Structure 1
Amino acid sequence: MSHPLERLLCPGPRVVAGLMSGTSLDGVDAAVVRLDGSGAALRLETLGFVSRPYDAELRAALAACAEVATSNVRLVSQLHARLGDVFADVALAALDAAGLGPGALDLVGSHGQTVQHVPVAEEVAGAPTRSTLQVGSPAVLAARLGTPVVADFRAGDVALGGQGAPLAPTLDGALFAHADETRVLLNLGGIANLTVLPPGGPPRSAFDTGPANMVLDALALRLTGRPYDESGALAAQGTPDNALVDDVLAAPFFRAAPPKSTGREDFGAPFVDWLVGRGPSSPADLLATAAAVTARSVAEAVRRFVDPAPARVIASGGGVHNPTLMGRLAEALAPVPLETTAAYGLDPDAKEAVLFALLAHEWANGVRTGLPAVTGASRPAFQGSLTLP
């Protein structure tokens, strides 16, 4: 009987499912992708994509799990297993959208759901310690799908002294580098992050710029009872409190030079509490203020840390569907034009799920996808750990 690794490690095209859930806790994205080659010679075709929101009960449990004040080890353990099933269901839906069954899959790449990310060392039991934790059991996924699963993509880089984030530059460099112009790839997920692509070369740097949908969605849920401000309609009616935006952007994270990463540890429930307490009483004005924080933090990061100025900024992620946020971004970035990945043939919603299919594919190719210039690690990490069905 052949070893299950034999098929996985054979060169040639692979059909890979990529799974992603972001810091905004809105749900799971799954892309089924056919991949061949590696690096700049990569060939990629998206066969199917679906996105499924978390139900209110699961989202509330995840929010409690991700906050130090409300989490507990039993909840973390149980959600780890529960999300394995949730991710498997979404992967099966993406396979169905592609007209394929589980037997067509060669591999799964799953990011999981981040519940803690501590890239700056804190003392634990007398020793400085850095960590990152994503839940969504790869063992459950492998058992449900009958397919090898590569997961835990951030831990290898953190173990080598890196930030463990962002991971998008591997995909950005493979698909969007241009021979003659500097480009910035911007992801507007729960957190906003960008990749700097110099002409003809690999990514020069990449880093988180601050909150995007995470804070906007948390404010919408608290102020309106709805999980998000659809199309930025309420924020469009408001006026930003520019003095409060200045106060937010004076925080050490925004002033720090890359490499840097962030998440709920900086912009979770305590930050939202502070913003509500300090901000305008009008929900529309408060949402407009949060949108201005994202727009200005991105634009200031581009101006401070991208030299020469990019020819264009190409956005992806759920934030591209918020016209108010995109309008404020376009104004803040001007005269640099703002586009989306749709203009280059990649669905902005699918990009992160496609990324984890790519990272799993490169793992099977034996490629170290860690980028020390991006994360600050001591050497390139072999990103991901394998679970066999």
Structure 2
Amino acid sequence: MRVCGLMSGTSLDGLDIAIVDFSYEQSTLQHALIGFTTKPYDEVLRKKLHALMDPRTSVQEVSSMNMYLGELFATYVIEALEELEIPIDTVDVISSHGQTIWHEPSVDVADVYARPNTLQIGDIAVIAERTGRTVIGDFRTRDMAVGGQGAPLVPYADKLLFQSTTGRVLVNIGGIANLTVLPPIHSTESIIAYDTGPGNMIIDACILRHSNGQVTFDENGEIARSGKVQNAWLSDLLQHSYFKAPIPKSTGRELFGEAYVKEFWYEGDAYNCTSADKIATATMFTASSITSEILKYRDTHDVQEVIVSGGGAHNSTLMAMIQQLLPSDIRLITSAEAGINADAKEAFVFALLGYLGIQKTPNSLPEATGARKETIMGKIAWGHSKAESGV
């Protein structure tokens, strides 16, 4: 089965598109990434999506953008397949994560109407109609329906693809960073997975302020490298309540978004930080919050290797900081070195979740999300019938 996986993350930088062929041979999953590209969002769309994450946004704006993103995702898929010279009629399924604009796994229990909730937009019916392909999406709500946090979902694939004879930690650094701790194959220890906290989100927001909106990310960590980490401030930052919360847990812009960054930026002034110092400290904040979690499992899970994917894998300053904080006997590599394109990984994962979901195969990992049981995640919008497609 050929699946086109779509991922639009909390960094709001664009739509990742991965085309993957899946099959089973002797009960073993076989996969081949045959194409990958990213379709960047323009600055106007990025700002509109960012504005949608404000709870004061009108329902009309959210509903309209849901349909618009469905159209845009379909257009991007068609363009990407043409550029990659992959005929669209060879794609069996499109699997879309959607664009998260709200994720609230914990709510006020005193409110009788409040429920854990999540919202990803980019309507799958629109994608199906515009492309003619069957589309599966809206994965997170099914996990929440059985008591899970709806996140993280990537650990299911991490277990399938990366578990080995030695302990490994998979780290994805997008807007938010998350990890999957994989014990050795024959270990009695459980797989552990959760969001560690900010990934690129605070760094990117600081770069926007530093550049007056002209630059969206710290390419190769060059600005962070030119600044100095303010260690006293860093210690205060690491006291955030999220880091003390029990697992499983997940987070997003609700905690580390615009309101947090605004306060962060002015706090830096109190420590006499330059803009570069603030960006250096934000980068070390991400590195420290990730590595402190990894080290909790060093002995119990025999961790010998840390594999990084996502945009953060390209930030050499961030990677150097993580390596600096890890013991010398733990190897740090990117997922590309482990056989999966570091940029394509999340889109690849959602292609996999879609592949399993369309075949009515459980595709969740309860130990990662806190769900009561495994489920088959994903809602389906069927593609055109043969009559409609003219076949």
TM-score (norm 1): 0.92
**Runs ≥4 in structure 1, deviation > 4 angstroms?**
none
Q: CA deviation at 1:94?
A: 3.1
Alignment-derived partner of residue 143 in structure 2 = 157
Amino acid at match of 1:64: A
Query: For the residues of structure 2 that align with 1:66 and 1:263, how far apart are their CA atoms?
Result: 10
Which ranges of structure 2 fall in alignment gaps of 5 or more residues?
A: 384-391
Do structure 1's residue 248 and structure 2's residue 237 form an aligned pair?
Answer: yes
Specify which of 243, 260, 266 is matched with residue 249 of structure 2. Answer: 260
Partner of 2:178: 193
Counterparts of 1:382 and 1:75, CA distance in 2 = 30
Alignment match of 1:311 (pick from 295, 304, 311)? 304
Aligned to 1:292: 284
Q: Which moved more, 1:325-334 or 1:297-306?
A: 297-306
Q: Which residue of 1 aligns with 2:208?
A: 221
Aligned positions of 1:119-198 closer than 5 A? 119-122=105-108, 126-178=112-164, 180-198=165-183
Amino acid at match of 2:248: P
Distance change in 2, residues 1:43/1:94 (3 Å): farther
Residue 283 of structure 1 deviates from its aligned partner by 1.2
CA contact 1:29–1:90 (8 Å) conserved in 2: no
Q: In the alignment, which residue of structure 1 is the partner of 2:341?
A: 347
Q: Secondary structure at the match of 1:320?
A: helix
Output aligned runs, 1:104-119, within 5 Å.
Answer: 104-119=90-105
Match of 1:62 in 2: 49
- Matched letter for residue 382 of structure 1: I
* Structure 1: gaps spanning 5 or more residues: 1-13
Per the alignment, do residues 200 and 309 of structure 1 end up closer, same or farther by CA in structure 2, a change over 3 Å counting? closer
**Partner residue, 1:5:** none
Counterpart of 2:75 in structure 1 is 89
Equivalent pairs counted in the alignment come to: 374
Q: 1:368 aligns with which of 352, 357, 362?
A: 362
- Stretch of structure 1 that moved more, 198-207 or 132-141: 198-207
TM-aligned CA deviation for residue 309 of structure 1? 4.2
Distance 2:133 2:364 in 1: 24
1:25 aligns with 2:19: no
User: Residues 40 and 154 of structure 1: is their aligned pair in 2 closer, same or farther, counting only changes over 3 Å?
Assistant: farther
| Secondary structure of residue in 2 paired with 1:343 | coil
What does the per-residue CA deviation read over 1:90-127, in whole Å, with 9 as the maximum and x for residues that have no partner?
22233234421211110011001000000012359633
Read off the aligned partner of 1:302 and give its amino acid letter.
I
Query: Shift in Å at residue 298 of structure 1?
Result: 0.6
Task: Describe the shift of the 1:151–1:244 C-alpha distance in structure 2 as closer, same or farther (beyond 3 A).
Answer: same
In 2, the alpha carbon distance for the partners of 1:39 and 1:188 equals: 34
Shift of 1:205: 1.2
Matches within 5 A, 1:11-50: 14-37=1-24, 41-50=28-37
C-alpha distance in structure 2 between counterparts of 1:198 and 1:174, whole Å = 13
Deviates more, 1:194-203 or 1:377-386: 194-203
Equivalent-residue separation in structure 2 for 1:146 and 1:127 (angstroms): 38
Q: CA deviation at 1:81?
A: 1.1
Structure 2: how far apart are the matches of 1:39 and 1:147?
29
Identity of aligned residues (%): 41
Q: Secondary structure of 1:133's partner?
A: strand
| Structure 2 counterpart of 1:90, one-letter code | Y
| Cα distance in structure 2, aligned partners of 1:65 and 1:38 | 44
The alpha carbon displacement at 1:324 in A equals 0.8
Give the TM-score taking structure 2 as reference length. Answer: 0.92
C-alpha offsets along residues 321-377 of structure 1, whole Å, 9 cap, x if unaligned?
Answer: 111111111111232221011112211000000011100000122211121111111
Q: Structure 2 CA distance, aligned partners of 1:38 and 1:124?
A: 51
| Distance across 2 between alignment mates of 1:290 and 1:196 | 24
Displacement of 1:49 after TM fit?
0.5
1:331 aligned partner = 324
Structure 1 residues 170 and 243: CA distance shift in structure 2, 3 A = same
* Match of residue 223, structure 2, among 230, 234, 241: 234
Contact 2:183 2:302 in 1 (8 A): no
* Matching residue of 2:389: none
Tell me the C-alpha RMSD between the 2 structures.
1.8
Aligned to 1:11: none
1:120 alignment partner, SS class: coil
SS where residue 364 of structure 2 aligns? coil
